[in-house]
Amino acid sequence: MHHHHDHGHGPLTEDGRRARDFRLLAVALGLVLATMVGEVVAGAIAGSLALLADAGHMLTDAVALGLAVVASWAAAKPPQGRWTFGFKRAEILAAQVNGLVLVGLAVWILVEGVRRLIDPSDVRAELVGLVALAGLVVSIVVSVLLGRAQGESLNVRAAYLHVLTDVAAFIATGIAAALIIATGWDRFDPIASMLVAGLLLRGGYVLLKETTLIFLEGAPESAPPDAVGRAIAAHPGVVEAHDLHVWTVTSGFPALSAHVLVEPGGDCHRVRLELEQLLREQFGLEHTTLQVEHVGTASGLEIRRAT
């Protein structure tokens, strides 16, 4: 039986990426908390649902970033005891919680928005516009910071999506404030808040879909099991392959295990090395566990090389 474990994480090492993510998340958390406090005060004074919705979303941003910081720290802890993969999926758990928070907040904003449409309240649009502009600047800065790493970590991506919706939310709030000033129609405020709710629902759905796929051991899009199985079975010297499993441990960490039978007299070690290279180059699978044996030592054909 042959086993091979190979971890590749791009130009940065895994530890380097996580240290960078931790720093970015901590800075973003500080900026979001400061902005949120200002919004809560201004929203209460101005009587603006759109601004309070933004403040509520900033609160979920703070919770999301706090979870992401803790998860990033936990994910960096080395494997130990029963935790043979360490705590890498803490990031995915945090991302799923963030998705649920986004959906819950969106539902609350929609309900409150409908109530405000029916019974609008007076809005101090000038104050709303000024706070929306300040919040927009902060959100853009935070989104730029997190955008550097969001493609590599689902945890950071979850936080990034939270902040990115803030950018759109502040734009919508600012436009609503301008329209209220121009027309005096206060219902632009709840309309803006409901547009924000739509963005939150979309972001929450995407996060829940991707994290659920990982928790249920689904294969990544880059490595469809049928295509991977055919590629292994078609490799020279391979007779059959079965017990094939492809899954994602955490963001950027797909894994594979399989039982491979080779022709009598074939070089199992050479075939294993060639298959590892094939899986790495064609499917981005850096972590592979292959059991390679000669035909006749095992049975249970599932994927057979075409003849």
pLDDT in tens, 26-53: 788 888 888 877 777 777 777 776 677 6
Do residues 255 and 247 lie in contact, with contact meaning Cβ atoms separated by under 8 Å?
A: yes
Would you state the CATH architecture of domain 225-304?
Answer: 2-Layer Sandwich (3.30)
Closest by alpha carbon to 203, among 132, 101, 59, 273?
101
Q: Where in the chain is the domain with CATH 3.30.70.1350?
A: 225-304
Q: Where in the chain is the domain with CATH 1.20.1510.10?
A: 14-215
pLDDT at 20 over 90: no
User: What's the mean pLDDT in 207-226?
Assistant: 89
Chain-centre distance for alpha carbon 305: 37
Tokens of 64: 């999301």
**Given pLDDT bands bounded at 50, 70 and 90, which one contains residue 270?**
very high
Which residues have a Cβ under 8 Å from the Cβ of 79 and sit 6 or more positions away? 85, 86
pLDDT in tens, 226-239: 999 999 999 999 99
- Calculate the alpha carbon distances from 278 to 113, 252, 281, 282, 298 in Å: 54, 18, 5, 6, 23
pTM over 0.85: no
pLDDT for residue 235: 93
**Residue range 14-215, CATH number:** 1.20.1510.10
